[in-house]
Amino acid sequence: MLTPAARRFWEILPGATSWTVLVAPFILSFIWPEGIAYFIIVFDTYWLTKALVMGGHLVFGYYHMQRAMRIDWLERVRQTEDMEGLSNDLLRRFHLARGFEARRLKEEWEQVEAMRRMPAIQKDWRQVRHAVIYAIYKESFEVVEGSLRACFESNYPKNKMIIVLALEERAGAQAVAVAEKIKEVFDGVFADILVTIHPDGIIGELKAKGANVYYAGQELKKYVDARGWQYDDVMVSCFDADTLPSRQYFANVTYNYILNPERTFRSYQPIPLFNNNIWDVPVINRLVAFGSSYWQMIESTRPHRLVNFSSQTMSLKTLVDIDFWDRAVVSEDSKQFYRAFYQYRGNHQAIPIFTPVSMDAVLGRTYWDTLKAQYIQKRRWAWGIENFPYAMEKFFAMQGLMTLKDRIIHPFRMLEGHVSWATSSLLIALGGWLPILLNMDFRSSILAYHLPVLARDLLSLTWVGIIVSTIVAFQLLPPRPAKYGKIKTVEMLLMWVMVPISGIIFGSIPAIDAETRLMLGKYLGFHVTEKERKTTFAPSVVDKTVVSRVS
C-alpha cells in the first residue's frame, strides 16, 4: 500500500506535468524563443505523423467491423461442436480468400487448430449463458426498453440469457416502476429478468456505477450458485442503460471466449458507437461522439494497448477472482482492466470485439444543457487518471512477481496518454504563435517569419485524416429521420471544420480540469450523463444501419 504522502505525489504528478508542458512555452518564449520554435516544428511533425498513422488504424478498424458484421457468428459458434470440421472449413475459405480477409481467416484457423489439439479445455458453447447487467439510475422506460429489445433481437438463444436490471435505491419509485414495466413487457422472453436495488449510503462506497454493478454482481453470483452453474459458463456483460448490443454481439463474444485457452484471463471489449440519437445532437457534440467511437476503433486494432471502456464482457469466474467492480472510483470500467491485469500478474488482455454496441450521444433538454453535460462527461472520462496512483502502487508491490515491462507499461501509457490529452490541442493551436507574440526581438528573425507558415503547412496535411474520418462517419450513420431534410446531411459534412475547436473545448480543457482537481485533492464524484432522445430508433434499425453499409 502507498503511504498517504506517496499517493498524493502520484496524484499530483500528472497535473503538474501537464501544467509544466503548457506553461513552459510561455516562459521559454522570453528566454529561448528559437528552442520553442524548433520544438513546435518537431511537435507538429510528430502529430502529423501520428494523425496519419491513426487514420490508417481507423480505416483498418472499419474494415474489421465490416467483416465482423458480415459473419454469422452464431453459425460459427455452432460449428465449434465439430472442431475438425470448423478447421477444415476455415482452411478452405482461407485458400479462396485474398488480402485482409485471408489474413484474418488464417489467424482464426490457427486459433481453432490450437484449440482442437487441446480437447481437455474445450468448452461446449451450449453451456455458455450470458448475463447482461444494465446499470439504471433515472433513465426512462423508452431508453431501457430499447436496450432490452436489442438483446431480444440478438441471435443468441434467449433461454441462455439473463437480464439484470441494476437499480439504485436513491433513484426512488420511478426506477422501480420502470423495472416492473420492463419485466411485464418482456415476461417469458429471456431465461430470467432479475431486479437488484443497490442500497444507498453504504460506508466506503462512492455514489457511482461501480458500486451499483458490484451489488448486482454479488446478487447474480447468488443466483448462479443456487442453480449450481459453473462460473466459467456464465459471461457477464456490464452495460449502461442506453446500450444496444448488435445482433451478433453475444454470439461473437461466445466464439472468442470458447476458442481462447486463456479465456478466464481475458475481457471482451466491443466498439461503442454513440449513434442512437446522433441526428438530434448539436454539431459539436456529434464530433465528440464520433471522436469517442473512432478512438475505440483505433485502439481495437492495437489490442496490446486496449483497455476496457464503458461496455465490456467478462466471465463470472474472472469477476469472482477480482471481486467484481471497484466500489470507490468513478472510472470503474478502466479500473476493471487494471485490477484483472494485476490480479493475474500481467496475464490479462482485453480482446477486441468488432461487432459494436450502440449508445446515446450526449443530449440535454436545451443547447446549453447539452454542452454542459458533454463537458462533464469528458471530464469524467479524463478522471480515469485517478487510476494512476493505483498503477504506481502495483508497480512497486508486484516487484519480483511481474516483469519490469509489465509493471511499467500501463503507468507509462496512462501518464503519457492523459498528459497528451490535456496539452496537445492547445500546443498545436497556440504553440507556434507564442514566441512571435511574446518576444519582440525574435519577431523580426527569419525563423519567426517561416514558423507560422511551416506549422500551417504541416498541420494542413492532417486534413487527410479528417477526410477519412468524414467518409467513415457517413458509413456509420443511422438513416436520416424523415423530419430532417437534406440540409442536415450537408451539416453532417461541414461539421468537420470544427474539429480543432472541439479538440480544445471538449478535449484539452476537461482533461486539464480533471488532472488539476486530482492534483489539488478536489476529488470528483460520479455524474450520470444526461441523454435525451428526440428521435427513437428501434434497435434493429440501428443495427441494420451498420449491416447494410458493410454487406
**What is the rounded distance in angstroms from the CA atom of residue 359 to the CA atom of residue 289?**
10
DSSP-derived pairing of the beta strands 234-240 and 244-245: unpaired
Do 550 and 68 contact (CB within 8 A), yes or no? Answer: no
Residue 433 has pLDDT above 90, yes or no: no
The residue among 63, 101, 60 whose CA lies nearest residue 298 is: 60
Would you tell me the crossing angle of helices 332-343 and 388-397 to the nearest 10 degrees?
A: 10
The pLDDT of residue 551: 26
Q: Give the three-state DSSP class for 477.
A: coil
Q: What whole-number distance in Å separates Cα of residue 252 and Cα of residue 69?
A: 10
Read off the pLDDT band of 530 (50, 70, 90): low
- Find the mean pLDDT for residues 209-230: 98
Q: What is the pLDDT of residues 115-147, one digit of tens each?
A: 999 999 999 999 999 999 999 999 999 999 999
Q: In the structure grid, which three cell numbers stand for residue 254, read together? A: 461466445
Tens-digit pLDDT profile for residues 444-480:
888 888 888 888 788 778 788 888 899 999 999 888 8
Average pLDDT over every residue of 368-375: 95
How many Cβ atoms are within 10 Å of 113's Cβ, its own excluded?
A: 15
Q: Which residues contact 35 (CB under 8 A, 6 or more apart)?
A: 28
- Average the pLDDT over 327-354 and give the result: 96
Query: pLDDT band for position 257 (50/70/90)?
Result: very high
Residue 542 is predicted with a pLDDT of 47
Task: Locate the DSSP E strands across 210-348.
Answer: 234-240, 244-245, 266-273, 312-315
pLDDT at 48: 86
| Placement of cell 436513491 in the chain | 170
Give the whole-angstrom CA distance, residue 31 versus residue 148.
Answer: 62
CA distances from residue 242 to 4, 70, 442 in whole angstroms, order as listed: 38, 24, 54
Distance of CA 484 to the CA centre of its chain: 30
Domain 124-362 has CATH 3.90.550.10: yes
DSSP 86: H
* Contact by Cβ (8 Å): 7, 396: no
The three grid cell numbers given for residue 253, joined into one nine-digit string: 463474444
Radius of gyration, alpha carbons of the chain: 24
Residue 285 has pLDDT above 70, yes or no: yes
How far apart CA 131 and CA 374 sit, in angstroms, is 30
Q: What is the pLDDT of residues 172-200, one digit of tens each?
A: 999 999 999 999 999 999 999 999 999 99
pLDDT in tens, 13-28: 999 999 999 999 999 9
- Look up the pTM and report it: 0.92
Long-range CB contacts for residues 477-483, cutoff 8 Å, separation at least 24: 477/275, 477/278, 477/279, 477/545, 478/275, 478/276, 478/278, 478/279, 478/537, 478/541, 478/542, 478/545, 479/541, 479/545, 480/279, 481/279, 481/535, 483/535
pLDDT for residue 546: 35
Q: Residue 100 is placed in which grid cell? A: 485482409
Section 335-342 average pLDDT: 97
Contacts with 175 (C-beta within 8 Å, 6 or more apart), sequence order:
136, 137, 138, 167, 168
Q: What is the mean pLDDT of the chain?
A: 92
Distances from the Cα of 38 to the Cαs of 19, 41, 335, 464, in angstroms? Answer: 20, 5, 38, 24
- Closest to 279 in 3D by CA, of 391, 360, 176, 164: 360
pLDDT at 531: 62
- Which of 148, 156, 151 lies closest to 179 in space, CA to CA? 148
Q: Please compute the mean of the pLDDT values over residues 60-75 and round it to a whole number.
A: 95
pLDDT at position 466, please? 86
Q: Has residue 540 got a pLDDT over 70?
A: no
Q: Span 309-322, mean pLDDT?
A: 97
For residue 529, pLDDT over 90 is answered with no
Res 544: pLDDT: 38
pLDDT at 62 exceeding the cut of 80:
yes
Is the model's pLDDT at 541 over the cut of 60?
A: no
Which pLDDT band, with edges at 50, 70 and 90, does 443 fall under?
A: confident
Tell me the backbone φ, ψ of residue 358, rounded to 5 degrees.
-105, 140
Say if CB 146 and CB 360 are below 8 A apart.
Answer: no
pLDDT digits (tens, 9 = 90+) for 287-297: 999 999 999 99
Contact 542, 147 (CB under 8 A): no
Render pLDDT for 226-250 as a digit per residue (tens, 0 to 9): 999 999 999 999 999 999 999 999 9
Cα–Cα distance for residue pair 24/27, rounded to 1 Å = 5
| 539-550 helix and 463-476 helix, angle to the nearest 10 degrees | 120
For residues 348 and 267, the answer to whether their CB atoms sit within 8 Å is yes
The mean pLDDT value for 352-372 works out to: 94
Give 235's DSSP letter: E
Distance, in Å, from the CA atom of 423 to the CA atom of 18, rounded to the nearest integer, reads 6
- Cell numbers found for residue 292: 469517442
Q: Do 89 and 79 touch, CB atoms closer than 8 A? A: yes
At 156 the three-state DSSP class reads coil
Q: Check whether 548 has a pLDDT greater than 50.
A: no
Q: Is residue 427 within 8 Å of residue 43, measured between CB atoms?
A: yes
C-alpha 221/C-alpha 319 separation (Å) is 10
What is the SS3 string spanning 394-457? HHHHCECCECHHHHHHHHHHHHHHHHHHHHHHHHHHHHHHHHHHHCHHHHCCHHHHHHHHHHHH
Q: Give the whole-angstrom CA distance, residue 457 versus residue 44.
A: 10
